Amino acid sequence: MTERKRPFWVRFWGTRGSLPAPRPTTNRYGGNTPCIEVRVHDEVFIFDAGSGIRALGDKLSREFNAVRATLLFTHYHWDHIHGFPFFGPAFRPGNRFAMYGEPRGSRNVREILGGQMAMPYFPVPLEAMRAEFEFHDVGPKMSLQIGKALIRTEALNHPGRALSYRIEFGGKAIVYASDTEHGNKLDARLVAHAAGADVLIYDAAYTEEELASGRKGWGHSTWNEAVKVAQAAKVKKLFLFHHEPARDDRALAVIERKAAKILPGTAAAREGTTYAP
């Protein structure tokens, strides 16, 4: 917890891709879908609203009388938004959230989040969330100064689009790049976006064998590619992320060891852990 005394840190609330996968054999790396908290002093940034955001909401409500946070969405596949209706602080008047996401056609982030909370999908509409919201469109290759943080965006290779976010503060950078599929060569755009980062959180859903057996075009990468991108971008710390729901802790630990052998310090992201660059 010494990390938490530092001004800039990241905490994993959900590390699992595609579908929550809670069971005794996934306890160590976690079963909740993507949600990442980044702190810049007392400013709260939340990346994605997978099922991990429920517990983050409880924690923020205990910590602050009035919760202020910036939520940034990579894209709107279920695993990145299905925790949002269970984000408790959103229902309380007096809390305030700035919401960033890429529009889809004529629909902005507000309409897209409202869509998943409409009948017949969910009984409680977005309008029942009584916190104050402001909604912002965002797209690739943007630089946004939000409070003390500078946030840069880049496009990822993912069916229906997705964004990567690079958050910079005090000469350090954390890059969140999930979900993305690699081709036959390194994604130069992503390598440039992650260049010199202190932390890279990268989609490592598959093994090479899994990718080759019918999963091409689904929008995800392998842990081998994660290592290559981190090496090319000269990243200081790589976290493998978006763990495959079927992967148990033991199998993930094997992957973690193999990756760390090639790139020392590499870790598979674990739910509930904090890291300060």
Convert residues 57-96 into a mask of x (bound to Zn ion by CB under 5 A) and - (unbound): --------------------x-x-----------------
Compute the residue count for the chain: 277
What Cα–Cα distance (Å) separates residue 120 from each residue in 87, 116, 181?
A: 20, 9, 32
Q: Which stretch binds Zn ion (CB under 5 A): 82-90, 98-106, 175-183, 257-265?
A: 175-183
Residue 244 lies near Zn ion (rule: CB under 5 A): no
8 A C-beta contact, residue 218 and residue 211? no
Among 123, 149, 127, 117, smallest CA distance to 47 is for 149
In the list 48, 102, 179, 181, the residue contacting Zn ion (rule: CB under 5 A) is: 179
Q: What letter does residue 45 receive in the DSSP assignment? A: E
Q: Which stretch binds Zn ion (CB under 5 A): 7-15, 174-182, 221-229, 256-264?
A: 174-182
Concatenate the DSSP letters of all residues of 49-95 into one string. -STTHHHHHHHHHHH-SS-EEEEE-S--SHHHHTTGGG-GGGGSTT-
Q: Which tokens sit at 215?
A: 């999963």
Q: Which is nearer to Zn ion, 179 or 225 (CB)?
A: 179
Q: Which is nearer to Zn ion, 179 or 249 (CB)?
A: 179
Q: How many chain residues touch Zn ion (CB under 5 A)?
A: 4
Smallest separation, CB 161 to Zn ion (Å): 9
Among 56, 35, 36, 39, smallest CA distance to 4 is for 39
8 A C-beta contact, residue 249 and residue 23? no
Smallest separation, CB 277 to Zn ion (Å): 24
In the list 17, 31, 52, 101, the residue contacting Zn ion (rule: CB under 5 A) is: 17
Q: Which residue is nearest to Zn ion (CB)?
A: 77
Q: Which is nearer to Zn ion, 70 or 221 (CB)?
A: 221
Q: Give the C-alpha separation, 5 to 20, whole Å.
A: 31
Smallest separation, CB 56 to Zn ion (Å): 17
Smallest separation, CB 140 to Zn ion (Å): 16
Query: Which chain residues interact with Zn ion by CB under 5 A?
Result: 17, 77, 79, 179
